[in-house]
Structure 1
Amino acid sequence: MPDLAGLRPGDPATVGAYGLSGRLGEGGQGIVYLATAPDGTKVALKLLRADLAGDAEASERFVREVAMARRVAPFCTAQVVETGLYGGRPYIVSEYIDGPTLADVVRRQGPRTGTSLHRLAIGTITALVAIHQAGIVHRDFKPSNVLLASDGPRVIDFGIARALDLSSTLTVAVIGTPSYMAPEQLTQSNPGPRSDMFAWACTLLYAASGQPPFGQDSVPAVVNRIMHTEADTGSIADPALRALVTECLAKDPAGRPSASDALMRLLGHAPAPAPRTASSGQRLPGVRGSGLLQEGSAAAGPHTPTTGSHMAAGPHTTAGPQEGAGPYAGAGPYAGAGSQAAHPHVGAGPYAAAGPHAPGRQARPGPHTWPTRRRRTGWVVTAVVSGALTLVAATALVAVRLSEGSGGGGTTPTSTAAQVATSAPATTPTTAPATRPAIRSIALPGTSVRVEERAGDPMELVSYTLDSGKRLYVRQHATGAFTADSRYFEYALDPRTGRALATDADYTTDGYATVSIVDHATGGRRAIRLSPRPVFPTTPRWSPDGKYGLVTLFKGAENNTVEYGYGIVDVTYEKGRVFEIKEQGAGKWRFFWDAGGQAVGTWVGDRMTFYDLNGRLVRTLRDVGAPVWVEGDDVSPTGSRFLAHCTTDATTLCARSTSGGGADAVTIPFAAVRLIGWWDDEHLAVWRIKDKGYEAVVIDLKGQVSRVLATAAEKAEFDKMGFRFARVPA
């Protein structure tokens, strides 16, 4: 266990909901405390210096900016749990890792060699893959930000660098530690992911030699060496690892490999690539997404043998889409019609569901073996909500930069009765995805709709429903083709993990509605019992970090339904919880995730209400416009804005700050009949009337159209369709 010092006079006894028991460390940013969560879990709580985040507005901007830290996949990283403000000072709560830093171990025990060094290399690069695929650049990767836990190395302090750079009042201070900074960090205000590869190589050389490769004397001397001299890599005995580290130390970021490519080489899956452009970033075929991260995480753990010059880490994984930033873009609910087991009608037209499925039309498929997954002990899975809409962060240190320029109650149903593993339909492929053309036009089966896709699009269509939900079509993993799947009402894919959250077409024999966690590549699923009839789930949506699923609950039968509340699905433990919200109208506009994944929100009249993951009301936003139906992301990818109608006449859209302030609302002069959601932080994807049908277009925040995404020739057909887009991994 890391050294623990007692609390000092002036230290708070509690911060938010956390009780402090001692000091784990103190640095330039603030103090790190050992704390205890309300459920008894140990966590690490960092209370930042007030001057780092600036005034109250800057502090709020800080916690919004670091929201993406929760989107980092839990592979070889210390997960961020919560962040908030205490007396105007930002605090950050993260998973407590019981282990020393790499810097401490090297100082006390000497350099790492052989298998130990290989495992360190694989674990730390796996963490960088997860961090980069969440759209984050660490910018302060160094030995003291690597913890050596019993199950392998863990990287900490990711996600705060950009936030401090944007919000700090220290005009001469920037993010990074000179001995581990890439050349471009010394001259650019916004370095890219390849700067982390330079820092990773420096950290490996420190582990292998016991000394920073460019020294640690005066800042000017260190900077001069980084800019103009080559590091000595002779302390790394293995030729393959030494060659990789040497490439990562290239002065030009274009000459460095990406984290994904480096990990594949360490795992023995790819030959050494030729230098590529810094913007390349494409992944090599074979191991992708969560499969690559799982393999890297396993190889970094204890008792993993080596093979030749690379770590052996199991079979060459092909299943699973790429990891990426941003949550799944969910769509609105569409119930069906028909049999006694059907979920009832909950609305009609383009802004609501339009009738039930007929879930009794097929028997449940036979058994299927659910894929195994490695569970790491000690993960923090409790998320505690504080007052802001987006409260997530991690940490880094501050150093000097040289600049070229100037400045309700819940219930937990027993899940075992419904955990029935099922096989995929015969049409479900199990091979790796085929390469798709750069520009493609897709005619959706059974419709007049045509979708236009381009390589590099941040979103793509993954499923759709016809005839008010009577038929569901799901995009196949291997071919990209859409095929019918009668097992589910709705299908929400999270491409980062390769999992889908689906509302099942059947009830259990004892009358419970279920949702399934689906392996998108194989079609295998695990059904989780959720709510007793007549309460049923709609609108499945993934949390930003992919750990939880959200469904909106309705109660009733056929054409007589009312809002009931929401359900939370814990993917790790495969359990569901149901929360009844008694406020009239809560859930009519469906529930959605806040950007940090710590609360869920919904419109109630002209205000937005937010509830934590235990059913408690935690925040209300007033004077934020009028409700708008968003099929996908209500909140922008970076968590800074949400969408609303500016007024009740619904003639214009407003992009408003998630902090609740109305002064910075952006008015978008565009009359959209239906919103797909945020395309990126500066563009929306919307449907508008076109001739006798509709077309989906991308617009900027001034309402200017930049391209057409889809066309629907038949209005009556379109009005009974539902569309689910997912955010494509970066």
Structure 2
Amino acid sequence: MNSTTPLRPGDPSQIGDYELTARLGEGGQGSVFLAAAPSGERVAVKVLRQGLAGPEAGGVSAPGRFLRETEILRRVAPFCTAQVVESGTLDGRPYIVSEYIEGPTLQQVVDAEGPLRDTRLRRLAVGTMTALAAIHRAGVVHRDFKPSNVLLGRDGPRVIDFGIARALDAAATGSGVVGTPPYMAPEQLETATVEPPADLFAWGSTMVFAATGRPPFGMDSLPAVVNRILHREPDLGGLQGDLRELIADCLAKDPSRRPAAREALMRLLGARERPAGTDLLSAGSAVAAGGAAGPRAAPLNVPAAGEITTVPRGDGGRSPSRAWLAGGAVALALASAAMVYGLSTRGGTATAPPRTSAGPPKPVAEVTAAPASKTDDVRLPGLKTTLHENPADPVRLTTVIYTTGKESKGYLRDPASGRFESAGPFQEPLISPDGKWAAVLPWLKDSIPQPYDFIRLIERASERQFIVRLTDKRLQNFNPHWSSDSRRLLLTSFQATTEGRRPVGFAVVDVAGAKASLVTADAQGATGAPFMWAPGETTVAQYYGSGPRAGLRVFDLRGKTVRTIPGVGEAYGTEGAISPAGKSFLTTCPDAYAAMCVWDFATGRRRASFSVPKSYSTIGWFNDAHVMYRDQTKSPQQIVVVDLKGKVARVLADVPSNEVDGAPGRSTHRFTRTPRL
């Protein structure tokens, strides 16, 4: 079911003969409202942001040109489209009234359920191509075909917002580049020419997104995406058969080589000619709807704040192939119209996460044994980094993210085989200490189409997944940390400011209780430092300040400051700095250069200090007597384990120079504490 929100102050209550009852959403073009027609039927009213007041051109006013253009839209036959009912202007702002379609967008479904498979993907392809054939037959070009303009209604897919960009364009300047970069055709980018072949290119890109969770030319920086569209071949993922061939033809650089919508629809229906005695658009609509008894698209269940909901399979009963969770730890600048990629799951639909007896966390026994010396080498796919592991290690590398200015590669470890599998970009996964759960956090927040921030929980044995709504989108949540018993997740809630992100509190996700709680806290002077679990995990800690006066604050789970440890130095990074048993914490020494200090958490006294390379980055604790950091003075660089005197006990990994900070790319290595996966 489509999610609605109440009308805001300043929103109109009436437009023409239509009574506005709620908000359906808001985008770059304007706001969409749910409204009641005089007959009582529900309709969607889109009030466009672009005003039409201004000088007349050629004796025809801008509103007149808009109304003339939108009148053409009413000629589009309602085959797999949301039919336009009427259009008009309100105080110089244009609006369009269309048929109300109940159901989520393709963008939302793929984000929540993962890529579409088999019959469901085929019906989507047939339905959307039927819509384009109907749109083109009426002499209209969509101009902005993309996943968020495809609704998955109960009677099949419906295409919306066709021709609106052209109507606005004609009423304003008569020219200009309109579209969403990852779905724009080469000629659209180079000359702003938009003819029906551009819609076929956008359709091909949208189908690749539906089938793989990503557009065929990537979704990172705008220059990189544009360069791939103009000069590179598309990445079609695992698409096979005639659908792959058709999509490849639609993605031809030369628009003259792309099929027309009618020809493409006949290919999808398995005929080069119109089926005998059957109207082509009617046949396409019937296939898209799956017949009278065919399966219907499941509406997206949008949770309320702090609520958890389950995500059903999106395959109509079949188990899709595994698509590994996305990895990400370094934010990249992205153009508008970015998105967060979804993930697919196997196994049955869940009704709730398994509930366990919460109880207080059990104390963690202190471990100080020296690292085992005998190791096995493990090479990461796609990278030249080599791990040196031993089964007795108290930590295990579970996630690797490699980012450049043009792309992001993530790797997540298979719990059964121990191999690293390729993961999609732009999300941050975190494996629970017991290995039973993976939490996946979108970290390109502005690209999330939902008006709230959320985190996914994936039960790794069954591959069921759950979505927990965290906060409204005005706050952004980062830096997830599992509790030692794998029952809770801690995230830091930030508010965006002109000077960067400012922490304002933290969110606690209770897996067994199926809810998330937002706690505000006085994080004055924290300057972006995240919250982390404090010993006992009934409190949280956060670094504050800079230089010799920097310190550590401890808060209870209501956000009240209960303790301050001043003068211990700055945080070394964003990972948890407290030892596994909770007795010690790490800082950069306040009174020495290139030195690391170890402090007693109970007393605040210094336990140890030791020198580190002039160029290094700390990763965290190996066990309670050993620390891991990356020595950036070596070539290749090394991830090493050192004791609290700074003596190197073992090398954990060799990292080549082209996979480190300051080079063409950056690799981030995340270790999960055992029990083993």
TM-score interval, normalised by the smaller of the two chains:
0.3 to 0.5
TM-score normalised by structure 2 residue count: 0.44
The structure number with the bigger radius of gyration is 2
- TM-score normalized by the length of structure 1: 0.41
